[in-house]
Structure 1
Amino acid sequence: MGQRFLKVAAVYFTIGVLMGLVMGIMQDFRLTSVHAHINLLGWVSMALFGLVYHFYPRAGNTKLAKTQFWLHNIGVPVMQGGLAVEIITGNMALMPVVIGGSLLVILGVILFMFNVFAHVGTLNIGKSDRDVAS
């Protein structure tokens, strides 16, 4: 799962950087909060999940990790897409969509926390838990 999270994080990073570039060129910063959330929840959080699952493969090879992956990757675009449409149109009708996406992300983060507590032990510096198990 570590590789999946890291690859998707790179996609979110690219989207976030391109959003920032376009906002700067157009001098239209209405989507700053969407840009920030794409970078934080997409790039930073996903990369950190990926690194945790790389260094602790027992945690990454669980149903919790797979479920978290899908909750996060459905929740972030739904939440941020809905928020972007609301900001651009001024129509708050998509608030339930934004809330729904947010709840998926929160549920995924809670699953990550449980997974870390259940499967992440002491890290031996310079070795993954795959090396330590040998």
Structure 2
Amino acid sequence: MGIKLIKISVVYFVIGVLLGLYMSMTGQYIYTGVHAHINLLGWTSMTLAGILYLIFPKASMSGLGKVHFWLHNISLPIMMVGLFFVLAGNLHLLPLVSIGGIGVVIAVIVFALNIFINVKIEE
């Protein structure tokens, strides 16, 4: 899971940078929340999780690691697409933001549990 998380985090990084470039070139900063969340929850958080999973392979190979990976990578795009359209004025898509956001929170809790259960220093 470590390598997969790092590779997909780079995709989020490219999306975040492109969105930032778009906003700066057009002077329209309504998507700042999407930009920030993609960079924090996509690029940064997934990169760090991937590194931890490489350092601690037991956590990476656990069922919790797999649940974390898939739930995070399904929920974050749902939340970001929903937020993008809500910020553009399509308020009827607000449930996507909530559903995706709840999924991301659950994924982060699963990740935290995985770390507490499976990350141990072998002596």
Q: TM (normalized to structure 2)?
A: 0.96
Q: d(CA) in 2 for partners of 1:16 and 1:101?
A: 18
TM-fit CA distance, 1:80:
0.8
Letter in 2 for 1:103: I
Displacement of 1:93 in angstroms is 1.0
Report the counterpart of residue 27 of structure 2 in structure 1: 27
Partner of 1:101: 100
Q: What is the aligned residue count?
A: 123
Map residues 74-93 of structure 1 onto 2, 5 A cutoff: 74-88=74-88, 90-93=89-92
* TM-score normalized by the length of structure 1: 0.88
- Show the counterpart of 1:7: 7
Distance between the aligned counterparts of 1:53 and 1:41, measured in 2? 16
Q: Give the unaligned 5+ runs of structure 1.
A: 123-128
Which letter maps to 2:9? A
2:38 corresponds to which residue?
38
Aligned-residue Cα RMSD (Å) equals 1.1
Per-residue deviation, 1:91? 2.8
Structure 2 counterparts to residues 112-127 of structure 1, below 5 A? 112-122=111-121
Q: Which residue identity lines up with residue 113 of structure 1 in the other structure?
A: A
After superposition, the C-alpha distances for 1:32-85 in whole angstroms (9 at most, x for unaligned) are 010000000000000011011000000000111111111100111100100100
Provide the rounded CA distance (Å) in 2 between the counterparts of 1:91 and 1:51.
Answer: 37
Task: Kindly provide the amino acid, as one letter, of the partner of residue 96 in structure 1.
Answer: P
What 5-or-longer segments of structure 2 have no aligned partner? none
Residue identity over aligned pairs, in percent, reads: 46
Kindly provide the amino acid, as one letter, of the partner of residue 107 in structure 1.
Answer: I
